[in-house]
């Protein structure tokens, strides 16, 4: 059996099972503190703007009990895992990537429904990814992948921090944290795949935003704050899967 096909089947199974745990894991998340009321005349933060536009966020306990969430999350995670396995094969990064796919599914679901990316998930995942790359360096003596990943992580996080600082209403700080994790992991693979992933995220966000505005016939929807985390995650998946797929088709 072709090694990429075998890795795809492993990704399908492992990530499908991990994704099916999404509702249970969401219910374990601690609820964030309530958003403070804005002071009179003060500029609204992103969280306060969402609260004003859409009301209180959905509780994690309620989100985790949504019907068919386990099936949908499991299916999405399985497809994503199969794509990652097919693209990467039996590479040293495969275990890390397959572990991160269900985590990405969980973060995408939470951000889509609550406009939040819990740091209790993102930060430990980033530390694990750092430790994984450091362990690979220690065992093989090859530091290129680890150094490239760290440089990409710092560069991407800096860019997103600037975007957050300049336009806080358009991007939450959770996106900044998530960008560091994705910059690190895609940097382990290749700087080109990192650029593809970031470009895909912003392109999808722009295209779907414009399409939504056209469907609603209301340009004001473009000024609202929307969760960017799911687009970052899908863009990262495109960055992992896209370039190897293009190379295979050309070959």
Write down the pLDDT at residue 78.
98
Q: How many whole angstroms separate alpha carbon 103 and alpha carbon 74?
A: 11
Write down the pLDDT at residue 63.
95
Q: Residues 88, 89, 95, 98: is their CA dihedral positive or negative?
A: positive
Tens digits of residue pLDDT in 140-165: 999 999 999 999 999 999 999 998 88
Write down the pLDDT at residue 53.
60
| CB distance 101 to 236 below 8 Å | no
How many residues does this entry show for the chain?
Answer: 251
User: Which segment of 87-91, 164-168, 190-194, 223-227 scores lowest on mean pLDDT?
Assistant: 223-227
pLDDT score of 34 more than 90:
no
**What share of the chain has pLDDT > 70, as a percent?**
83
Helix ranges, 21-118 (H): 22-28, 46-54, 60-63, 69-88, 94-114
Helix ranges, 167-220 (H): 173-189, 191-216
| CB distance 32 to 94 below 8 Å | no
* pLDDT band with cut points at 50, 70 and 90 for residue 45: low
Strand ranges in the chain using DSSP code E only, listed in sequence order: none
Residues 6+ apart with CB under 8 A from 175: 117, 160, 164, 228, 229, 232
pLDDT score of 48 more than 90:
no
pLDDT score of 251 more than 70:
no
* pLDDT band with cut points at 50, 70 and 90 for residue 27: very high
* pLDDT band with cut points at 50, 70 and 90 for residue 47: low
Write down the pLDDT at residue 166.
84
Write down the pLDDT at residue 58.
85
Q: What is this structure's pTM? A: 0.90
pLDDT score of 213 more than 70:
no
Residues 6+ apart with CB under 8 A from 13: 78, 81
* pLDDT band with cut points at 50, 70 and 90 for residue 218: low
Helix (H) or strand (E) holding 229: helix 229-250
Q: How many whole angstroms separate alpha carbon 163 and alpha carbon 161?
A: 5
Write down the pLDDT at residue 226.
75
| CB distance 243 to 196 below 8 Å | yes
Write down the pLDDT at residue 244.
87
């Amino acid at each position: 059996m072709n090694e990429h096909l075998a890795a795809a089947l492993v990704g399908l199974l492992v990530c499908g099972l991990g994704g099916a745990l999404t509702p249970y894991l969401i219910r374990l998340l601690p609820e964030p503190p309530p958003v403070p009321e804005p002071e009179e005349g003060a500029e609204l933060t992103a969280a306060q703007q969402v609260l004003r536009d859409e009301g209180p966020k959905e509780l994690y306990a309620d989100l985790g009990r949504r019907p068919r969430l386990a099936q949908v999350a499991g299916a999405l995670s399985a497809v994503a895992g199969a794509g990652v396995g097919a693209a990467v094969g039996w590479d040293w990064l495969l275990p890390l990537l397959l572990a991160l796919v269900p985590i990405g599914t969980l973060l995408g679901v939470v951000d889509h429904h609550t406009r939040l990316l819990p740091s209790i998930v993102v930060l430990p995942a980033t530390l694990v990814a750092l430790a994984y790359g450091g362990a690979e360096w220690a065992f093989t003596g090859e530091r290129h992948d680890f150094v490239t990943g760290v440089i990409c992580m710092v560069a991407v996080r800096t860019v997103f921090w600037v975007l957050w600082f300049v336009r806080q209403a358009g991007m939450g700080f959770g996106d900044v944290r998530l960008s560091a994790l994705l910059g690190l992991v895609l940097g382990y693979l290749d700087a080109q795949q990192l650029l593809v992933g970031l470009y895909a995220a912003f392109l999808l966000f722009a295209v779907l935003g414009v399409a939504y505005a056209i469907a609603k016939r209301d340009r004001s929807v473009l000024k609202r704050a929307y969760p960017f985390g799911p687009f970052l995650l899908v863009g990262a998946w495109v960055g992992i899967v896209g370039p190897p797929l293009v190379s295979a088709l050309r070959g």
